[in-house]
Amino acid sequence: MLDDSAAYVDGDWTHRTVSAAGARFHVAEAGEGPLVLLLHGFPQFWWAWRAQLTALSAAGYRAAAVDLRGYGASDKTPRGYDLVTLAQDAAGLVRALGSQDAVVVGHGLGGLVGWTMTAYHPDAVRALVAVSAPHPRHAGRVLASVGPGVRHVLKAQVPVLPEHRLLSDGCVRLGALLREWSAPGWPDTGTEERYRRAFAIPKVSHCSLESQRWLFRSRWRSDGLRYHARMRAPVRVPVLQLHGALDPVCPPEAARASRRAVTGAYRWRQIPAAGHFPHEERSEEVSRALVDWLALTAPGGRG
């Protein structure tokens, strides 16, 4: 097993530990200007945003990519993997980073956290970019698709065994999952190895699956019913949805239904030849779309 040093990757950014919402979070930062908070999804860590960290800092923004609670070098707490707590984490990080609000960019689970922030912490969200992430109100459409992501979530409901399966043989199953969820050609060997090493950090496998257990089980519990009632609030901030045209986890048509939840400015951008990880599979195209949209929606950078 590894310690959390696998989450510290050198590059054109600086690493720091930030305390927020009663936990400590590892953040990689680059640039100066308006804050853009980058939230990764399963089964990744902050490094998923390495291309966007560089592009955003070059465009005049302060980009901060965080390891979510339970991932990378952030705290692995015994509980706190529901979307309400994760949204509280992110809102606390905005303040801890010295900003009143931020453009929140989230992929997968991180996107669900971003959508949740618009209902629970609207003052902390200046604008939202949801990558491969439907609004939680429309997640039922994804469940109905019975794709590989849904099958993975269902298998994760069993105790202990899913963690063991993902960790066995040096996390080889994790690499297979990345390939299954992406378009052909990604990831390369080095990228896969990086994610396998980060996932082998103690407790990451369990913590990451706890979020998926909450997503499924809460639908029939009082906390989940309260959550979905709160999420009926309209999203009033500008929203950009970026989605891979070949995403097998969340079909584009299911994600695009999220438009109905947004009363603010909205834009849909489909990324050709990309699967569930467009910010890595087609990093230059996603970075360009993000910077162009920010120049119009959240001015302050050099665009």
pLDDT in tens, 239-281: 999 999 999 999 999 899 999 999 999 999 999 999 999 999 9
Whether residue 163 is predicted with pLDDT greater than 60 in this model: the reply is: yes
Model pLDDT for residues 31-44, shown as the tens digit of each residue: 999 999 999 999 99
Check residues 10 and 142 and name the one with the higher pLDDT. 10
Distance set, CA 286 to CA 24, 199, 217 (Å): 29, 25, 33
The contacts of residue 31 (CB under 8 Å, 6+ apart) are 53, 56, 57, 58, 60, 61, 62, 63
Lowest mean pLDDT segment, chosen from 74-83, 105-114, 146-155, 237-246: 146-155
For residue 267, the SS3 value is strand
Whether residue 148 is predicted with pLDDT greater than 90 in this model: the reply is: no
Distance set, CA 182 to CA 137, 149, 162, 237, 279 (Å): 25, 11, 21, 29, 11
Rounded to 5 degrees, φ, ψ at 127 are -165, 160
Q: How confident is the model at residue 147 (pLDDT cuts 50, 70, 90)?
A: confident
Paired strand residues for 129: 105, 240
The contacts of residue 190 (CB under 8 Å, 6+ apart) are none
Distance set, CA 92 to CA 20, 29, 293 (Å): 5, 16, 25
For residue 252, the SS3 value is helix
Model pLDDT for residues 20-33, shown as the tens digit of each residue: 999 999 999 999 99
pLDDT over 90 percentage in the chain = 88
**Considering only CA atoms, which of 204, 210, 282, 208 is closest in space to residue 243?**
282
Check residues 145 and 70 and name the one with the higher pLDDT. 70
Distance set, CA 128 to CA 45, 237, 238 (Å): 19, 7, 6
Write down the pLDDT at residue 1.
40
All structural domains of the chain? 4-297 (3.40.50.1820)
**Whole-number CA gyration radius for the chain:** 17
Rounded to 5 degrees, φ, ψ at 29 are -125, 150
Q: Which residue has the tokens 């979510």?
A: 68
Residues counted in the chain: 303
Beta strands in 7-73 (DSSP E): 14-20, 23-30, 35-39, 62-66
